[in-house]
Amino acid sequence: MQSGSGTSTSFRHGERERGLARAAYQTFEPLHLVAYFGPPVDAAREELGIGWLGSYTGMRAAPLGPVPGAVVAATFYGFHPRAVDKAWRLALGAHDPSAYDALRTRVVDTGLRTYLGDLVGSPELARQAERMRAVIERADLGGRALAASYAALPWPDEPHLALWHAATLWREWRGDAHNAALVAHGLPPVDALLLYDAWLPAERAAQGRGRAFLQPTRKWSDEEWVAAAHRLADLGLVEPDSLPAVEAGGSPTVTERGRVLRDAVEDATDDASASVWVGVDDAEDVIAAFRPFSKAVIVAGVLPGTVRKG
Long-range contacts of 247-253 (CB under 8 A, 24+ apart): 249/211, 249/222, 250/211, 251/197, 251/198, 251/200, 251/205, 251/210, 251/211, 252/194, 252/197, 252/198, 253/198
172-186, 188-202, 252-266: range with lowest mean pLDDT: 188-202
Q: Report yes or no: 117 and 44 within 8 Å, Cβ to Cβ.
A: no
Burial state string for 28-60 with b = 16 or more CB within 10 A and e = fewer than 16? bbbbbbbbbbbebbeebbeebebeebbbbbbbb
Across residues 129-153, what is the average pLDDT? 97
Helix (H) or strand (E) holding 53: helix 51-61
Q: Report yes or no: 261 and 131 within 8 Å, Cβ to Cβ.
A: no
> Is the pLDDT reported for residue 310 higher than 80?
no
Confidence of residue 2 (pLDDT cuts 50, 70, 90): very low
Across residues 251-256, what is the average pLDDT? 96
Residue 19: partners with Cβ closer than 8 Å, 6 or more residues away = 270
> Is the pLDDT reported for residue 247 higher than 70?
yes
Confidence of residue 305 (pLDDT cuts 50, 70, 90): confident
Q: Give, in order, the Cα–Cα distances in Å from 78 to each of 178, 196, 215, 255, 304.
A: 11, 11, 10, 22, 18
What pLDDT does residue 78 have? 95
> Is the pLDDT reported for residue 62 higher than 50?
yes
> Is the pLDDT reported for residue 208 higher than 80?
no
Helix, strand, or coil (residue 254): strand
Q: What are the φ and ψ backbone dihedral angles of 216, each rounded to 5 degrees?
A: -70, -35
Q: Where are the alpha helices (DSSP H) in 248-308?
A: 256-272, 283-300
Domain boundaries, the chain: 15-169+291-300
Q: Give, in order, the Cα–Cα distances in Å from 137 to each of 150, 277, 302.
A: 12, 11, 29
What pLDDT does residue 201 have? 82
> Is the pLDDT reported for residue 206 higher than 70?
no
Q: How far apart are CA 65 and CA 97, in angstroms?
A: 6
Q: How far apart are CA 102 and CA 132, in angstroms?
A: 22
What is the percentage of the chain residues whose pLDDT exceeds 70?
A: 94
> Is the pLDDT reported for residue 90 higher than 90?
yes
What pLDDT does residue 3 have? 37
What pLDDT does residue 288 have? 98
Q: Tally Cβ neighbours within 10 Å of residue 228.
A: 24
> Is the pLDDT reported for residue 1 higher than 60?
no
Which of 60, 51, 63 minimizes the C-alpha distance to 94?
Answer: 51
**Whether pTM exceeds 0.95:** no
Query: pLDDT of 142-173, one tens digit each?
Result: 999 999 999 999 999 999 999 999 999 999 99
Q: How far apart are CA 201 and CA 291, in angstroms?
A: 23
Eight-state DSSP code of residue 273: T
Across residues 58-82, what is the average pLDDT? 98
What mean pLDDT value characterizes the chain? Answer: 94
Query: pLDDT of 3-28, one tens digit each?
Result: 334 445 689 999 999 999 999 999 99
